[in-house]
Amino acid sequence: MITLYVEENYEALSRRTADLIGAEIIHNPSCVLGLATGSSPIGTYDCLIKDYKDGKIDFSKVKTVNLDEYIGLEGTHDQSYRYFMNTQLFDHVNIDKSNTNVPDGTAKDIKAAGEAYDELIASFGGTDVQLLGIGENGHIGFNEPGEFVAGTHIVDLSESTILANSRLFNSADEVPRQAITMGLHGIMSAKKIILIASGEKKAEALSKTINGPITPDVPASILQLHPNVVIVADKAASSKA
């Protein structure tokens, strides 16, 4: 079941999402959070850092599992998702970094790394809350349109994703062509899913996610099968929903 919250703007969307995650941490201090990268969650992470500094939430027992990572980028690379998580959230709260997990894009055996990642998620019984952004083409994590894949796997990035993500690199040529991503079983095994969508560019994908058929052409449409999904969107992103 999908519940849609429409917020006035990105600030309100970020506050709302941080409140939902903060509530989870207060309810269950040892919770497992599934976390996402990209521009969409940055405001949420800022709010969570503020809440931590204000003494409202405590990350000391929280565990995290991230969705994805570029193939070939070390965690120290400033465009790697490990680096993103450290600088946007982990370095600013009292989380134990050994409790944070990001797929290893430099593993020699990516298949084995993927299987180990799925075992980790299964050992938690799935995440308590999985935070998601959404690609302009309806991807979640790096599950690109074309097929539903259950397990953590290596993926060839679509041209549209390379183009969209090139804004963060010096040029499109520098964007890695492959990524390792949590698969759809890992995402859907979450007890609760929160998807955030901001801006007009996401309106079409969001509309198809909520109202369209469940199809590999729009990977996020699989969320219709999950019993507890909250979509937090701003007015622009929800304009076609």
C-alpha 223/C-alpha 66 separation (Å) is 18
Among 71, 89, 134, 187, binds ligand GLP (CB under 6 A): 134
Annotated catalytic residue: which of 7, 24, 68, 69? 68
Joined together, the tokens standing for residue 128 give 């308590």
Please say if 139 is a catalytic residue. Answer: yes
Active site residue 228: no
Antiparallel, parallel or unpaired: β 100-101 and 2-7: unpaired
Q: Which is nearer to ligand GLP, 39 or 239 (CB)?
A: 39
Q: Does the active-site annotation cover 99?
A: no
7 contributes a contact to ligand GLP by CB under 6 A: no
CB of 231 to ligand GLP, least distance (A): 13
DSSP lists the bridge partners of residue 232 as 5, 196
Residue 81 near residue 188 (C-beta atoms within 8 A): no
- Identify whether 137 is a catalytic site residue: yes
32-61 footprint of ligand GLP as x/- string (CB under 6 A): ----xxxxx---------------------
Closest CA to 136 of 50, 35, 218: 218
Establish if 205 lies at the interface with ligand GLP (CB under 6 A): no
- Catalytic position from the list 101, 104, 128, 139: 139
Sequential DSSP letters for 29-55 = TT-EEEE--SSTTHHHHHHHHHHHHTT
Query: At its nearest, how many Å lie between ligand GLP and the CB of residue 29?
Result: 26
Contact 148, 216 (CB under 8 A): yes
Question: Taking the C-alpha atoms of 185, 180, 97 and 15 in order, what is their torsion angle to the nearest 10 degrees?
Answer: -70
Nearer to ligand GLP, 95 or 180 (CB): 180
Of 51, 69, 118, 144, the active-site residue reads 144
- CA–CA distance, 227 with 152 (Å, rounded to integer): 22
In one-letter notation, the amino acid at residue 39 is S
Two tokens at 205? Answer: 């994908």
- Closer residue to ligand GLP (CB): 58 or 75: 75
- Select the residue whose beta carbon is closest to ligand GLP and give its number: 133
Q: What minimum distance in Å lies between the beta carbon of 49 and ligand GLP? A: 18
The answer to whether 126 touches 150, Cβ cutoff 8 Å, is no
Nearer to ligand GLP, 78 or 96 (CB): 78
Identified catalytic residue from 101, 137, 143, 165: 137
Alpha-carbon Rg for the chain in angstroms:
16
Q: Indicate which single residue of 66, 165, 189, 221 sits in contact with ligand GLP (rule: CB under 6 A).
A: 165
> What's the one-letter identity of residue 155?
V
Residue ranges that bind ligand GLP, judged by CB under 6 A: 36-40, 67-68, 133-135, 141-142, 161, 165
Active site residues per annotation: 68, 137, 139, 144
